[in-house]
Amino acid sequence: MPLTDLLQAIQAEADDEIAADLRALRAEADATVAEASIRAHALERELELRATAESQVDAGRRIAAARLAAVRQVRLAREEAYLALRADLAEELRSARHSPAYPRLLGELIQGAIAALPGTVLIRVDPRDAITAQELLASTVPPVTLEASLSTWGGIHAVDPDGRTVINTLEQRLVDAEPCLRMLYARTIVTAGSESS
């Protein structure tokens, strides 16, 4: 199976899992929003029934506070749902080494780091990746020294003669993807909200 097909298959699997997680999280967030909305409306109705001419201002403040509390609850529920999704994704990346596709992925990470840092003279890997990395680096010209000193989910650190480093690990990829993940998650929540309206 060509590397691009393998990576696309991994990406498709990850996309399916993310989509499933997002659907579940969206349902949870929608339930929280509905519950908060019901409580806010109930409080609003109760305050309106009790309100007199003198207490209208106070009732308005309470309604605003209830709405603000509901918005805060929704925001908190969405953040918790996002963090759960990110934790699931991190767990999937932690287990990538056990996938049959991992040697190809490691090769791509090595190639990407060497391309980003021409003149790479040292590649650091996790000891669990040393044999595979040695095989992948066997034909590298000029030769690159391999050092099995990292503790990582997978991937490498490349170092050039001047000490510049490119970190191309799965953990770093997740950190680098954080802004895009948050944006994708936010778009999904907005889309889900507009579809349920």
Confidence of residue 45 (pLDDT cuts 50, 70, 90): confident
CB atoms inside a 10 Å sphere around CB 158: 24
Mean pLDDT for 18-31 is 70
Q: DSSP for 51-97, please give it.
A: --TTTHHHHHHHHHHHHHHHHHHHHHHHHHHHHHHHHHHHHHHHTGG
Q: What is the pLDDT of residues 101-154, one digit of tens each?
A: 999 999 999 999 999 999 999 999 999 999 999 999 998 878 899 999 999 999
16 and 55 share a domain?
A: yes
Q: What is the pLDDT of residues 159-189, one digit of tens each?
A: 999 999 999 999 999 999 999 999 988 888 7
**For the residues 41-47, what does the mean pLDDT come to?**
73
Q: What is the pTM of this model?
A: 0.62
* pLDDT score, position 140: 81
Q: 84 with 138, same domain?
A: no
Structural domain count of the chain: 2
Residue with token string 């990746």: 129
What single DSSP character describes residue 4? H
Beta bridge partner(s), residue 156: 125, 168
d(CA 174, CA 176): 5
- Which of residues 59, 94, 129 is at a domain's end? 94
State which residues form the domain around 8. 3-94
Q: Are residues 162 and 134 in the same domain?
A: yes
Q: Is residue 197 part of a domain?
A: no
70/145 same-domain check: no
